[in-house]
Structure formats: structure tokens, C-alpha cells
A and B are shown apart, each in its own frame.
With several copies, the nearest count.
Chain A
Amino acid sequence: MLSGIDLRMKQWDWDYFLSERRKVVGLWPTGKQIESPDSIAEAIAYHKAQPAWKYASLRNEKAEKEGRIQIVPQVGHALVEQTVDHIKHSEDLSPDRWYVLTDTYTRKSEYAKAQDAVDRSRAKGFSYLNGYPLVAHGVPGARAVNEATRAAIGTDNNDEDARLPWEFALAGGWTWGTIKSIEELIQHSRDYPVDKNIHNQQYIDRLAAHFTENGVPILRRASANLPGWDSLGFKVTVALLEVLLSAAQGVKWIDLSLGIGMNLLQDVAAIQVLRKLSREYLDQMGCNDVKIFSWTYFFLGDWPLERGQMSGQLAWNAAVSALAGCNGMFIKSPDEASTTPTAAGFREGLHICGQIVRLIADQRLPDSEDLSLERNMMELEVRSIMKRVLELGDGDFAIGGARAILSGALDTMFSPYKFLKSKVKVVRDRNGALRYLDHGLMPLPNEVIEYHRSRIAERERKENTTAGVNWIIREATWASRSLAEEIAARE
């Protein structure tokens, strides 16, 4: 659905931003803390007083120079104290950043409900929320979380309208956060207008760019946090579009992060293609000064309940990330399949992944024919979709992106979004790489379609079955099934 607002991929006027901002800070009473026109300058001053290691952007640059791989755990509970305790529990393991997830009410702009859940959490002594209510706790809360650690704090609040939470994040000294201009609705929404969502993200980009212009290098993370069953080429395209949209607002530091699919070669290919094409498209836009970094986000699919299996899966995600030579990884914890992650859980996650990083160190997956074939196919795929997006947008990626989502040029299997075609079907091949069984209306070159088909056919021959929805359903629990039960069923 489109709301029909005027959407273009060009930098907002600062005055337009400020006029929008006046509406945003009025969305909830804590907005008063930042409603004065001076509040932005005050926030910039707070940032400037922070040491270099509080900046995710500068950490990226330093780690890249040192060839060190960064590790980022996640956190987010209803109360500031709970969130701070969780962070402190792993401070000695020195994660590079903390990734603060906000709760669902804050994500859905239901700030009153979030406040109510905070009150109940305080009364009951546990967390009623699945994340940190950034708006409810306002600037003091955000600063308290920020000052609890040497790590760079960032936010993942990115549902339909994440403008107010982002105001608090930046006012609180947080130096980075996620972009979800294209993917957001596909992930979390039922019927929000897609142009409005992109517009909301432009607001955040513009704000981040303003900080950056004023000497505070804010980093935006193009996430492609899409489900682990999605095609990698699709994810790369989504991330690439998000990179361009942010850069157009003046954002200068961007993480290219990619949700792992768990086939080593395909994941490495995707990371390489995303980096190559991001650089190319950015340069073409004249954004040679935008700095990009490669990151992974651990598999967003089914995780096993059994702790040993879980450890194995965490380690494999870390190994793929390290062998890909990325700058960092957003990890998960052994609690992934059962609860909102605990402090102890993330400590264990940091140990598992930290050991993998230590052991792999400078080892990289060497280039090979197989890898280059995978990369070439994905590059063809992404270029072809990007071309269609541009056509759909009459030369503009913003409105083109919006229309691509609605027309099926960008499409995927599992989504709550009513206006997505959801005609695509993706299955795993015999190596676990993700392949289009049905590419729906996505404009893929024939060569790519054939390539995917041939890989599916290999598995069909090996297993002597026919690919279909039954594969998809089975693969939905492929990684999480209990090994013991699987063995019992086999025997």
C-alpha cells in the first residue's frame, strides 16, 4: 500500500526535517526532554565528550586496520537497571558494541502501553517487555545505559515508525543503529504504507547525517535481518537499497550486515557481492566518501532448544562470519530458542563466538571456482532486480523500492505484510544453499533461474524426491529438530 506522499531519494532540507521533528517530539510526554531546538546541539556536545571507543564507526575503522573481527551481543529488558545489569555481566569480555532491542510496544509507537509495562515490571521485579523501552526511559535512561559500558551502544528500534526512539538514542549518546527502510514491513507489519515507512527512515538518516556533519560519526547498519529461509540475492538487494537510501540523506558510515543462511560458500559470496555492489553504486552516486564495513547477523531461522546443538549452531554462524573475513558479527545466545536472552546466555554466546574468532584468526575461505560461480550468479540477480527497481521508480530508488515491494519485484515467502505478493518459494539444495524453487514475479535472469533449478535438481536426485512445499515446511524446522528424535525416527 502507498499513502501517496512525495517520496524521493534525495537529501531532506534541514528545515523540512525540523518541521517534521516538531511533530515527532510531541508523540509522547518524554519528548519534552528534547523538544527545545537546542537539544540537538546539546546531544552533539554530549557525544563529542565521548572517547573514540564509544563510536561504532571508529571502532569499525580501527578493527579493520587491525584485522580484528568484532562481536556484538544484544540486550533489552523493561527496566534500565535490568538492562545495565545485563550489559555489566559481560563487560570483562569487552564486546565491541551492544545491540539494544526495544520492546514491541515501543516499536509499534504504543508508548502508553510500554509505560504501563514498565510500571508492572518494576512492581513485579521481572521484565514484562521483550526489549528496552527507549521512549519511556527517555534521555536519562539512554545515557545511563550508555555510560554503563565501554562498548558502543546502538539501537535496533525500526518498526514502522522509529523516529522518536531514535531521537532518544542519539540524545543518549548511542552511536549507531539499524536501517530498515525497505525490509521493515516485510518483516513486521500487516498493512502500513510502504512509502511512509521509507519516509520515516529518511528522517532517521537525515538526523544521523546531521550529527555526522557536525563531527559525530554516527553509523547506520543496513541490516537485511530477513528470515534465514530467504534467498541471499534478495537480502543483498534489500541491503543495497537501504545503503543507497541512507547515503542519499548524508549518512557516511554504514555497516553492510547480512543475515546468514548457513551455507558457507553462499554466505561468503553474498557478503562479497554486497560489498562490491555497494561500493560501485555508492561511487556512481558520488558517495565515494561513504565508508562501508561487512557484517553478519546470525541465522534468523529456527534455533534448537537443546543446549549442545545450540552451541554448535552458534559456533557455525561465527565460523562462517570469520571465514568470510567480515568486520564483525551480531551474535545470538544459547537462549535464542527459549526466552528473551539472559545475561548469562549472552556471556556464553560471547565465549563460544570469541573462541571461534580466536581460533580462526586470519583464516579466510580462499577464492575458488565454486565461490566465483556463486558470486557471479548472485551479482547477476542483484543487478537485474536493481535495474527493475530503478525502472519502477522512474529513475528513483526510493519510490522504486516502494513499488518493487508492492509489485512482486522484491518478494519473499514468509511475511505478515498483506501487500507483499509472497509468490516466491525458496528451498535448500543438497549443500544447504538457498535456491529459488519459484521466483514469483522477481525479475531474475534466465541464467540465474537455471542455476538455481539445477542445484535443486541435484538434491532431488540425491534424495529421490520432488521439491515442493513439503521441502519448505520441513526446512522450517531443519536446524532446530532434536538430534535424538531425528535418529529415533530414522531407525
Chain B
Amino acid sequence: MNSPESSMKQSGEVAAARPSGRQPVIVLGTIGHDAHIVGSSVLRFAFEEAGFRVVFLGAVVPPEEFISAAKESAADAILVSSMYGMGRIDCADFGDKCKEAGLGHVKLYLGGILVTDPEHWPETEALFKGYGFDRVYPPQTKAETAISDLKKDLGLSS
């Protein structure tokens, strides 16, 4: 595993571009007032190890910042983490905002602990897909799952 000497919260160094093709880029962070940064940190290291360039925004990130970072980095995907239960409000128009910003082609993934009350997962999933996310993950989804999904969605594997 590559072990960046940077601090645990800032964006890591760009991993060497993969030999063939452009290195895929993701923007990653925890949305809204949400301070939970550990889960996204785990994702960040796993995606870097898997060969992605990760623009890591840390926690307490306004939706707009995800969008501007995705534009700047020409990201292939935005991965949003929401842990603190306010995702229902924070994420309500995220898909629309991305489209408005011309990011309609960017994959939108969401994970964490999305709602405050115990809820049947398919309902939660449907709710957030309705907000424009391509994939929505239940609590404690492993980084590997998202990596393999994203590789598939970006046509990097089948």
C-alpha cells in the first residue's frame, strides 16, 4: 500500500498515471455540516491504491464545493459521504445542481448512514436515487464494492 506522508485530512499526492489511458479522477468528501471524516478517509486511500486520482475535500463540505472541484479536476465521479443523518436535506437537489453545472455525465455515488429513523433499505435507496444519485450505498459498504462498481460504470472493467 502506498502510504502518503501527507496529513490524514488533505488531498494525497497524485498517484502515477496508469500506463494506458487517462487516470480516472474522483472527487470525494463528506457533505453539508457533516464532520465525519474517517469513512471518507478510508475510501480515499482505497481509491488511490486502486489507481484513481482522488480529489479529497475532507468533511463539512458544501455541495457547491463538490461541484466546483469536479469541474476543475474534470472528475469522472463524485463520491459523497453523509453520515450524520441529515442527508435527506443536504442531498435533496444534488443531482439537479450537478446537471445545471454541466456535470450530467459525472457519476454520482452516495453512501454513509443516510437517514435518522430505521427504514426499509429499498425506500431509502429509491429516495436518494430520486435525488439524482446513480448509486446509493447502505451503512458500512466496503470501499472495494464502490471501486468495482465505478470501474464497471466507467467502462474500466466488465
Contact = CB atoms under 8 A, between A and B. Distances in A.
Interface of A: 77, 103-105, 107-108, 113, 117, 126-130, 187-190, 227, 229, 301-302, 305, 335, 337-340, 342, 413-416, 418, 420-423, 425, 468-470, 472-473, 476-477, 480
B31 to A, nearest CB: 12
Given A229-B38, A413-B8, A335 B118 contact: yes
Contacts of A340: 85, 116-117
Contacts of A468: 1, 3
Contacts of B1: 468-470, 473
Contacts of A129: 85-86, 116
A301 B140 CA distance: 13
Q: Is the interface of A mostly helix, strand, loop or mixed?
A: loop
Interface residues of B, number: 35
A187 B35 contact: yes
A307 B127 CA distance: 26
A476 B42 contact: yes
B35 A127 contact: no
Given A104-B84, A340-B85, A190 B60 contact: yes
A320 B36 CA distance: 26
A339 B88 CA distance: 13
Contact of B60 (A130, A302, A416, A473): A416
Interface centre among B7, B60, B84 (most CB of A within 10 A): B7
B85 A416 contact: no
Contacts of B116: 77, 126-130, 339-340
Given A104-B33, A415-B9, A127 B117 contact: yes
A469 B4 contact: yes
Nearest to B3: A469
User: 4 smallest A-B Cβ distances: which pairs?
Assistant: A130-B85, A416-B59, A422-B7, A469-B3
A130 B86 contact: yes
B12 to A, nearest CB: 10
A422 B4 CA distance: 13
A473 B44 CA distance: 10
A339 B112 CA distance: 11
B68 interface: no
B18 to A, nearest CB: 21
B54 to A, nearest CB: 13
Contacts of B34: 104
A104 B8 contact: no
Contacts of A420: 9
Given A188-B60, A305-B139, A414-B41, 15 more contacts: A104-B85, A113-B89, A128-B116, A130-B84, A338-B113, A339-B116, A340-B85, A413-B8, A415-B9, A422-B10, A469-B3, A473-B45, A473-B46, A476-B39, A477-B140
Contacts of B4: 469
